[in-house]
Structure 1
Amino acid sequence: MEPWGNLVSFVRAAEALNFSEAARRLGVSSSAVSKNVAQLERNLGTRLFHRSTRRLTLTEVGERFYAEVVEHLDSIEAAIARVDEFRQVPAGRLRVSLSPSMGIDNVLPLLSEFNTLYPAVVPDWHFENRRVDLIAEGFDAAISGAVELMPGVVARELCKLHLVAVASPTFVKNNPVPKEPGELEALDGIVVRSTQSGRPRKWTMRCTDGSSYDVSLKPSFIMNDPEAICRCAAMGLGVTLAPLDRAYPYLQRGELVRLLPDWYVDLGSVVVYYSGQKLLPAKTRVFIDFLVDHFEKNLAPNFRAV
């Protein structure tokens, strides 16, 4: 296919019948237009212009070629302008994958504000507990815990994700209050089942002084959902290690109390990941910026234990 610059230079020179005027319209030098046209003539194997010191005129072949390409050139330039406008103006369907707990509790409440700012963007959100292939499945972005990024995918951190030890005030009143992580193991525990092994999860707790301790709670109750373990703990059934964002409302209401306040489990970060291409669609770019800004200002402390 003929290089775009050669064709544009030819059409504009044919319209103006002057290389300098064509160059002015294109915002390039006159010599650049002359070289582009000369290259086009070499590629086509024919002269398109008669050149003299005083004037520039189209040859018969040049006139026919101009008539053939000008209409298509204008249509292509209009299409390019529309693409650029689409890239700059946030609009279109925004496909995002989110885990139900994170998405419904922390991202969905932002939808009204986002829609007010960007009414032409149509959210198409999928709430599911799985890691998606952005490119193969046609997603614009995904929100998840720490993930191993595929080639061509980048991520921005939304918040840290910590587990903390909690129990109900009634349970604390009727049982010994642990002073160190090992003492949690003597109490009735509400544990999460690993989705990989099917067995109760074991955790490494870290202290603000830099020490650590591997904890295995007694599996008196086994659940597979963070909201379920918080509710069980609020019922006084035992101690648990719960995601701080899930436990936060219970702590605020006094239905749970935090144990071992200097200790926590570091689960890494919650991230929004997306294609690493430089020219992101505007709808994706503004969504990511909006999300990162909101988490940084409003939600990050709810996830971080220290």
Structure 2
Amino acid sequence: MDQLLAIRTFVRIAEAGSFGKAADQLNIPRSTASKLIQDLEQMLGTRLVQRTTRQATVTPEGAAYYERALRLLGDLDEMDAEARRTRAQPKGRLRVDIGSAHANFALIPALPDFQARYPDIDLRLGVSDRPADMVGEGIDCVIRGGELAESTLIARKLCELDMVVCAHRKYIDRHGMPAHPSDLEDKHRVSAYFSSLTGRPFSLRFERDGETVEVQPKGNIAVNESTAHLTTLVSGLGIGQTFRYQLRPWLERGEVVEVLPGWRLARHSVYAMYPQTRHMNAKARVFIDWVVEVFGALDARERA
């Protein structure tokens, strides 16, 4: 069995949903495609493809194998291109995972520029605030913020973002302006953001003139998705903390006002993280270099 051809055949079948279409694309007989998959499954000891009279679908084991096979074939193609000393543009599928708010307010609006630079990269963008399984999901790069947990991933710092505690003007009109962070514990409603892992709301930490106050949010609304959390704030559901760059349009229109401006909040660091592989593939390398530019424009350190 030609294992490499078998893997390429399997990938084409998974994408085309048909043995016949995959065979036509590879310019091999359909019987050959079928035999390659049978031999590959026998070697692996597992079923990769579920066959019917009209279509072929991958099994759960096949889906996991497909993700790894894509990365393997991508690395092989790049190795061949480098050996030929070509200067071909990076191409192929790139899987990136990013938190919701940063996707909607920073990354996606800038993507036309990335597409113009690298038209042959097929970007698959996973948008979620939940932790991602990079190996299991075949992810090339994740963009996350906050304190980094212990990890074998390589982390490249993209920026530091200013945070702001704010409320919609209609909330302030009804409940008044807090004078001290402690007022948030018993005199105001806090729109909280809670951890997908622990289920507990993140606390708010304020500093001023050597005094530190940590507030544990109390209220009747908490969400675990960053874009939804921003929506709760601009809808007047309570006082909360979010990224200043995302809130800027509402602040400039006067619809949302800053609360406790004399108190300092810690900046929020954002990182691009990727596995410790010996050779980063070209698609991931150009994407990370590009995303450094995108988030660098938001860096609070540069404005300071």
> Same fold, TM exceeding 0.5?
yes
2:87, 2:276 → 1: CA distance? 16
1:270, 1:89 → 2: CA distance? 28
1:233, 1:82 → 2: CA distance? 50
Q: After TM superposition, list the pairs within 5 Å mapping 1:104-115 onto structure 2.
A: 104-115=104-115
Report if aligned partners of 1:163, 1:241 keep a CA contact under 8 Å in 2: yes
Identity of aligned residues (%): 29
Q: What's the CA shift for 1:118?
A: 1.4
Q: Secondary structure at the match of 1:150?
A: coil
Q: Secondary structure at the match of 1:142?
A: strand
Q: Is 1:205 aligned with 2:213?
A: no
Q: After TM superposition, list the pairs within 5 Å mapping 1:5-44 onto structure 2.
A: none
- Aligned amino acid, residue 258 of structure 1: E
Q: After TM superposition, list the pairs within 5 Å mapping 1:272-291 onto structure 2.
A: 272-291=272-291
Q: Secondary structure at the match of 2:114?
A: helix
Q: After TM superposition, list the pairs within 5 Å mapping 1:207-286 onto structure 2.
A: 207=208, 209-266=209-266, 268-286=268-286
Q: What do you get for the CA RMSD once the two structures are aligned? A: 3.2
The change in CA–CA distance for 1:283 and 1:252 in structure 2 (over 3 A counts) is: same
Q: Secondary structure at the match of 2:241?
A: strand
The change in CA–CA distance for 1:270 and 1:258 in structure 2 (over 3 A counts) is: same
Q: After TM superposition, list the pairs within 5 Å mapping 1:1-306 onto structure 2.
A: 82-84=81-83, 85=85, 89-146=89-146, 147-148=148-149, 150-151=151-152, 153-185=153-185, 186-207=187-208, 209-266=209-266, 268-296=268-296, 298-301=297-300
Q: Deviations over 1:23-82 (max 9, x none)?
A: xxxxxxxxxxxxxxxxxxxxxxxxxxxxxxxxxxxxxxxxxxxxxxxxxxxxxxxx9653
- TM-score, normalization by structure 1: 0.62
Q: What's the CA shift for 1:88?
A: 7.0
Report if aligned partners of 2:99, 2:127 keep a CA contact under 8 Å in 1: yes
The change in CA–CA distance for 1:261 and 1:281 in structure 2 (over 3 A counts) is: same
Q: Gaps spanning 5+ residues in structure 1: where?
A: 1-78
Q: What's the CA shift for 1:244?
A: 3.0
Q: Secondary structure at the match of 1:137?
A: coil
- Aligned amino acid, residue 188 of structure 1: R
Report if aligned partners of 1:161, 1:266 keep a CA contact under 8 Å in 2: no
Report if aligned partners of 2:163, 2:268 keep a CA contact under 8 Å in 1: no
